[in-house]
A and B are shown apart, each in its own frame.
Chain A
Amino acid sequence: MGEKIRIGFYALTSCYGCQLQFAMMDELLQLIPNVEVKCWYMLERDSSEVEPVDIAFIEGSVSTEEEVELVKKIRENAKTVVAVGACATQGGVQSWTDKPLEELWKTVYGDAKVKFQPKKAEPVENYIKVDYKIYGCPPEKRDFLYTLGTLLIGSWPEDIDYPVCLECRLNGNPCVLLEKGEPCLGPITRAGCDARCPAYGIACIGCRGAVGYDVAWFDSLARVFKEKGLTKEEILERMRMFNAHNPKLEEMVKRIFEGVKE
């Protein structure tokens, strides 16, 4: 094998769960001899955020002015940038609010000042070009394996373009939406989790983000929202937990609700 692939794992503002998931893969032991880890502060003291890498994994939302500079530096030094998880791809749950930054600050910190500059949380691609995305809060281990595997053989990871419902139906779970009438976001959320939560009888909270909105075949299930007495506002608020920065969200939910025949 030729030169080792250089990778970096960088954290912006987040819960560190994506890195933890990555670190928890037993397969990591097989990866270690084949890569050179240039930056991974969570596990490695000898890390640098400015060393050139082949693949940069970025976790977290851009939430301070300092992090704006950091993502630009990472982009300059990386051949491929992968945004990892709900914070990096969608701004994360810290974006689930309409309140202005000043109000949030005042609520939590009062009149006190801190020497660093906070911002409203944003996805990484608002500041730099992102080549690939890994979705989920947290992403599944197999998301990492698939992404790394394809990139290491010179291919690339493809986006999933079908909803959680597909996996849920294949697994034969009782339908949380149809049978319990709970606001399960499975019909409009990107699959890849093997319908993890509905398998436990828990309504999907949409942590992998909205599936591309022009995927039409799931509309019939999504329309059940209205039949079950769930309002457009309710579904929109729930979808915003993990899709606050998705400009097409409102249009998507509106279309679903308008599609219902009275």
Chain B
Amino acid sequence: MKNVYLPITVDHIARVEGKGGVEIVVSEEGVKEVKLNIIEGPRFFEAITVGKKLDEALAIYPRICSFCSAAHKLTAVEAAEKAVGFTPGEEIQALREVLYIGDMVESHALHLYLLVLPDYLGYSGPLHMVEEYKKEIGIALELKNLGSWIMEVLGSRAIHQENAVLGGFGKLPDKATLEEMKRKLREALPKAEYTFELFTKLEQYEEVEGPITHLAVKPRGNAYGIYGDYIKASDGNEFPSEEYREHIREFVVEHSFAKHSHYHGRPFMVGAISRLVNNSNLLYGKAKELYEGHRDLLRSTNPFANNLAQAIELVYFTERAIDLIDEALARWPFKARDEVEIRDGFGVSTTEAPRGVLVYALKVENGRVSYADIITPTAFNLAMMEEHVRMMAEKHYNDDPERLKLLAEMVVRAYDPCISCSVHVARL
């Protein structure tokens, strides 16, 4: 008798940001088709903000995503500042990076403990872990609260920060609060290290092992970081941010409200592991030590390494934020905000959001946005993610479908996708 194969589908992938599903079509010959269905509705952010006042458009962009709203805000603000020809002082730049790190710490802690860890411990979600894993949930909440608090102090709130504006900040915290921030970051360091140790123990499935091209922003300056004006690829290429469209092509697929992207005709990956692959030489402190000691687990060839890479970044960015606060304090006191003259122009900003390269290209005419192009990390990753889910399915399509579903979801979760981010992003 001929085997009958029903499609294996997850309608709604749990424990990710946004709404997406997986569809695996299997036949006698094996896996025929794998699709990540992105069903969250389109939001047309670029189209909506064209014609709007620049400051009002800048208030709207972070609403693309709550998990990385500070990343969106700061990247949009930098693109706008480049467009109008303004460069903020180093002290403002340092504090903006601290705000950005708040987002990074919160997002990584949330992803690792609440979204990823339950799979490995056999739970359907973190709410069930509260009793048995008090310590882990406690650390998750402490790290997450630290990130939220940093964003609240520097950004006005943990989600959708209004305090980051053209020219700087609406208001700066006082010196004592920045000293307190340093103290809290120092206290968090052992917890970040604990997280790293914990995640070294988790399996990185060899089913999805294979070559991956990684793209990351090349940091400005000599430290591993967030802001940069060039994109580096693990194939040795490097290009200025403004030329992103010459190297990355976006296209529509019928099963997704989010576009897919190819780099030189092939899927590619962005994210914490991609940052390590391209910029690990710029790590320092405890994170560098951990990286050197665990290179075998931080392979460029496995998307599951992204979880551990995020854990190493928790350590790195906690230390980095302290140094950045010191840089700002060395210039204390300074003005919160410079007057910015809104001239016509075009600007591109590329930064490293928690989930990878984030691109904002904005054109300003007569004080209003006349062109906007935003590409988010998840949109960059979708094609590669689909390929890795397919690799997983090819090894497991004869297993219990529930097992395959879980493994497929775990691949997706390793990427830490942000689906809200991905659905709207497109060029004009």
Residues of A that sit less than 8 Å from B by CB: 11-18, 20-21, 23-24, 26, 29, 32, 37, 40-47, 49, 61, 63-64, 66-67, 92-94, 96-97, 99, 103-105, 107-110, 112-116, 118-119, 121, 137-138, 196-197, 199-202, 205, 207, 237-238, 241
Partner of B257, one of A21, A24, A116: A116
Residues of chain B contacted by A47 (CB below 8 angstroms)? 12, 14
B contact residues vs A (CB 8 Å cutoff) = 12-19, 39-48, 50, 52-53, 56, 59-60, 63-67, 69, 110, 114-115, 118, 124-127, 130, 141, 144-145, 148, 156-160, 162-163, 165, 169-171, 251-257, 259, 336, 409, 420, 423-424, 426, 428
Contacts of B16 in A (CB 8 A): 42
* CB contact under 8 A between A112 and B67, given known A201-B170, A201-B171: no
**CB–CB B124/A37 < 8 A:** no
Contact A64 B255 (CB under 8 A): no
Q: Is there contact, CB below 8 Å, between B160 and A137?
A: yes
A41 to B52, CA, bound (A): 34
Residue in A18, A45, A64, A66 whose CB lies within 8 Å of B15: A45
Q: Which residues of A contact B409 (CB under 8 A)?
A: 45
A17 surroundings in chain B (CB, below 8 A): 63, 65-66, 69, 159-160
How many contacts A-B (CB < 8 Å)? 195
Contact status B59-A63, CB under 8 Å: no
In the complex, what residues of A have CB within 8 A of residue B259's CB? 109
**Contact between B17 and A44, CB atoms less than 8 A apart:** no
**Are B69 and A108 touching (Cβ within 8 A)?**
no
A107 touches B145 (CB 8 A): no
Chain A residues with CB under 8 Å of B157's CB are: 138, 196
Cβ of B408 to closest chain A Cβ, rounded Å: 12
Q: Given known contacts A26-B141, A112-B252, is B127 in contact with A63 (CB within 8 Å)? A: no
| In the complex with contacts A26-B141, A43-B15, A94-B48 CB distance below 8 A | yes
| Cα A17 to Cα B145 with chains together (Å) | 15
B43 proximity list for chain A (CB < 8 A): 13, 63, 94, 121
**Which residue of the partner chain A has the closest CB to B420?**
A15
> With A and B bound together, what is the CA distance between A254 and B113 in angstroms?
51
Cβ contact within 8 Å between A104 and B163 = no
A96 and B48 in contact (CB under 8 A), knowing A20-B67, A121-B41? yes
